[in-house]
A and B are shown apart, each in its own frame.
Chain A
Amino acid sequence: QLQLQESGPGLVKPSETLSLTCTVSGGSINSRNFFWAWIRQPPGKGLEWIGSIFYTGNTYYTPSLKSRLTISVDTSKTQFYLELKSVSAADTAVYYCARHPRRSGWFDWGQGTLVTVSS
C-alpha cells in the first residue's frame, strides 16, 4: 500500500528557506500514471495546492508562489522535495504531500507536517 511521509524542520525563520521532503514507499515514484504534489493548509484555514511534479522533473506551480518555489524529485531515493524561499508568517501551515493522476484530484495523502515561520 502506498505511503507518503513528509519530513523537515518544524520551525523556519522569516526570510529563510522552507525545505521539506516527501518519502514515497509501497509504490513506484517512476510511475507514468501519477504526479506528486504539495498542498498546504494554514491553521484554521482551507487547502491550497502548491504544485506538482512528474518523475521526469516536469513541474506545475501555483502562480502566487511560483517566484519563490522549487519542487524537485530524486527517483533513486524515492523522494520529492519542496523549497520555498523568503518565507514569512503567511507561509505557516501544515504541508501535505500527495499523489494524483494528471490534471486530477489527489487520491493519496501523507499525514502532513506543521511548519511555523517565526523568529
Chain B
Amino acid sequence: QSVLTQPPSASGAPGQRVTISCSGNTSNIENNYVYWYRQLPGTAPKLLIYTNDQRPSGVPDRFSGSRSGTSASLAISGLRSEDEADYYCASWDDSLSGRGVFGGGTKLTVL
C-alpha cells in the first residue's frame, strides 16, 4: 500500500488532455514538494516535474504540475503515442523521522 494514492490507470486519445491525480496528507504533499516521474518499460524513472510545478530542461511544456492542499496533479496536453508510460508522484513525508514516499503509479494508455 503506497503512502500517496494515484489512480491505477488513465487514458486519452491523441491530442487530448489528461490529468493524473496524487493524493496525500499534511505530512507529505501539503508540507513538502511534489515530484513527478515517467517510466518506460525496462528503464529508470525520468524526472518530469520538480518542486510541484517546475520542468527540468528538455521536458516539453505539454507537461505541467500543480499542488493544492494535500493533493497534486500532473496534466499532459496534446497527448502523443510516446506518452504511453507509467507515471509516479513522489514527495517527502515528515512522519517517522522523515522518509521518501511514492504513489503506486498510473499506467497511461494512449487510445
Chain A residues engaging chain B, CB cutoff 8 angstroms: 37, 39, 46-49, 52, 60, 62-63, 96, 103-107, 109-112
Q: Which residues on the B side are within 8 Å of A96 (C-beta)? A: 44-45
A104–B99 Cα gap in the complex (Å)? Answer: 10
Query: B74-111 interface mask toward A, CB cutoff 8 Å, 1 = contact, 0 = none?
Result: 00000000000000101110001111111111000000
Q: Which residues on the A side are within 8 Å of B33 (C-beta)? A: 104-105
A3–B32 Cα gap in the complex (Å)? Answer: 27
Q: List 21 A-B contacts (CB under 8 A).
A: A46-B102, A46-B103, A46-B104, A46-B105, A47-B45, A47-B90, A47-B105, A48-B102, A49-B101, A60-B98, A63-B96, A103-B32, A103-B98, A104-B50, A105-B35, A106-B90, A106-B100, A107-B56, A109-B46, A110-B44, A111-B43
Q: Which residues on the B side are within 8 Å of A105 (C-beta)? A: 33, 35, 47, 50, 90-92, 100
Please classify the interface of chain A as helix (H, G, I), strand (E, B), loop, or mixed, using the class held by over half of its residues.
Answer: loop
5 closest Cβ contacts across the A-B interface?
A: A105-B35, A49-B100, A109-B44, A47-B102, A46-B105
Asked whether, in the complex, the Cβ of B100 is within 8 Å of the Cβ of A111, the reply is no
Q: Which residues on the A side are within 8 Å of B56 (C-beta)? A: 107
Q: Which residues on the B side are within 8 Å of A110 (C-beta)? A: 44
Query: B43-68 interface mask toward A, CB cutoff 8 Å, 1 = contact, 0 = none?
Result: 11111001000001000000000000
Q: What number of B residues sit within 8 Å (CB to CB) of A?
A: 26
Q: Which residues on the A side are within 8 Å of B96 (C-beta)? A: 63
In angstroms, how far is the closest chain B Cβ from the Cβ of A38? Answer: 10
A40–B53 Cα gap in the complex (Å)? Answer: 25
Asked whether, in the complex, the Cβ of A111 is within 8 Å of the Cβ of B99, the reply is no
Asked whether, in the complex, the Cβ of A103 is within 8 Å of the Cβ of B92, the reply is yes
A48–B90 Cα gap in the complex (Å)? Answer: 10
A107–B48 Cα gap in the complex (Å)? Answer: 10
Q: Which residues on the B side are within 8 Å of A103 (C-beta)? A: 32, 92, 98
Asked whether, in the complex, the Cβ of B92 is within 8 Å of the Cβ of A104, the reply is yes
In angstroms, how far is the closest chain B Cβ from the Cβ of A68? Answer: 16
A107–B33 Cα gap in the complex (Å)? Answer: 13
Residue of chain B at shortest CB distance from A35: B100
Asked whether, in the complex, the Cβ of B102 is within 8 Å of the Cβ of A49, the reply is yes
